[in-house]
A and B are shown apart, each in its own frame.
Chain A
Amino acid sequence: MTTYLYEKDLRQMKLLILESRRHDAVVQEIATTLGIKRQQLRKILIERCDMILLENLPARCDAARETDDLISQSLGIPLITQAAELLTREEGARIRKGVNVQIEHGVPRETAILEAKTEILELIRV
């Protein structure tokens, strides 16, 4: 819990931004791919992003969505790395590669993806 001496607590205002229709849609989308509740993702986003990035989230997601890699898509990696900047691109690429390696070693696809999701969650959780 942060105490604010000079700066104002902006969480309420950041939440107002995320309540708009288009923002709500993308937050819901990322939350479903990661398998967490919308409220949890909102909390993460509010802690990690500044206000203008939150405002621009839908447009950035539109720009990031154009990938044809199915595994990245099912993990939501472009949205998390490129659009919301919760992870760096290198981390995203590393997780993506980890899934590939696991699948090559005979781990079922679903399990590999699930494990990768847990890893992402651990990394972005505040």
Chain B
Amino acid sequence: MKKTVDVSLPIGPMHPLFKEPCRIKCETRGEFVLSAEVELGYVKKGIERIMRGRPWQEVMFLAERVCGICSVVHNYVFIEAVENVSGIAPTERAAYLRVIVNELDRMQSHLLANYSYCYTIEHETLAMYLLNLRETVMDQLELITGARVTCAFIIPGGVRCDLSADGAASLRTALDHIDSELSRFVRIFETGPLIGLRSKGVGLLTKEAAIEAHAAGPTARASGIPDDLRNIHPTYRLLDFKPVIRYEGDNYARIMVRFEEVFQSTGLIRTALALMKEGPIRGGGTIKAGTVRYRGEAPRGELLYDLTTDEHGRILEIAIQTPSIMNIQVCAHAMLKNAQSAADITAIFISSDPCIACTER
């Protein structure tokens, strides 16, 4: 890219606040950030190249390992894409179980994102509260699926294991606990003067810039774009889903959207538990040849799987477009531009919930 000034401030690849390696090169004049560019490649594994020509049974596990934070949704969207090709529908109970696990995953991902943000603006107390609350969610996830991360819970036609009555009861208790604890934490976040100073009006993202870069998820919804693919998902429609939208477009709005979505997720899980009836959890089916472009809503936004299968169930061609790509790009090129202080760079970057592992695959 063309340089306008000769001073560039590199941040990363190893930075105390980044969970993952990536390098931001900011051109600055004094403290004022003129532009930023992102250098990637530190976690490039070439997953799409490995996936090519392999049976879906293997690709399923690879898809999960595109991103460890939101592993369930990669599993979910990949399996639904394959089901879409071959005309398989999950059984009714399995469809609800999928939603429950997906929402638990979304909750832990959002809590982790907000933890990182609070840690970045040096509010360590709130950060630790949130991280501890996340463990409650992880326990429930483990109770249902048998693993904390990369649980491979969703399979074509259904899910791997059932939720017992005991499990449902403990899930309900955990949800109540999360609701009561989190409302306390949100109050801390809303009223904290330090948090307000470092978050309100920082890292502004206009609606136009968000649309241009195809921003997705909480980043877009905090700028007033009402896109949420759960709106058009058949199971979520039964649960009476409505997206959370805010209009400020700053760091504060992005974090608040995530908090509100956690509350929404607990509500969705409760509704799903109430609507769920006893029944089989596996339907079965065979994978057929075909091409599909399938979208789903990941915690960070729109996730797209573009794949071609053959009649033996092998994946011939695949392309994955993860939400972090859009969000990091819009963050680097629109939010960081004109940031008032170099100290805000990390806070702005983390507020867009970047996931480098997704971005590079």
Contacts and interface: CB of A to CB of B under 8 A. Distances in A.
A59 interface: yes
Given A53-B333, A55-B40, A20 B319 contact: yes
A56 B1 contact: no
Contacts of A59: 213-214, 321, 325-326
B41 A60 contact: no
Given A21-B317, A22-B319, A50-B1, A56 B214 contact: yes
B39 interface: yes
Contact of B46 (A16, A21, A53): A16
A55 B329 contact: yes
Contacts of B319: 20-22
A56 B306 contact: no
A22 B212 CA distance: 18
Contacts of A21: 48, 306, 317-319
B212, B306, B329, B333 pick with most chain A CB within 10 angstroms: B329
B41 A51 contact: yes
A50 B317 contact: no
For this complex, into which size category does the number of interface residues on chain A fall? 20 to 34
B37 interface: yes
B44 interface: yes
Summarize B's interface: helix, strand, loop or mixed.
mixed
A63 B37 contact: no
A62 interface: yes
B38 interface: yes
A22 B305 CA distance: 10
A24 B177 CA distance: 48
B39 A56 contact: no
A51 B37 CA distance: 8
A82 interface: yes
Interface string B306-325: 10000000000111010001
Contacts of A49: 1
B100 interface: no
A52 B321 contact: no
Contacts of A62: 214
A13 B213 contact: no
Contacts of B213: 56, 59-60, 63
A93 interface: no
A80 B152 CA distance: 41
B223 interface: no
A10 B39 contact: yes
Contacts of B28: none
A55 B39 contact: no
A63 B306 contact: no
A13 B48 contact: no
Contacts of B39: 10, 50-51
Given A21-B317, A21-B319, A56 B38 contact: no
Given A49-B1, A52-B332, 9 more contacts: A13-B40, A20-B48, A21-B319, A48-B1, A50-B1, A56-B329, A59-B321, A63-B212, A82-B212
Interface of B: 1, 37-41, 44, 46, 48, 211-214, 306, 317-319, 321, 325-326, 328-329, 332-333, 359-360
15 contacts: A10-B39, A13-B40, A13-B44, A20-B48, A49-B1, A50-B1, A50-B38, A50-B332, A51-B37, A52-B333, A52-B359, A56-B326, A56-B329, A60-B212, A62-B214
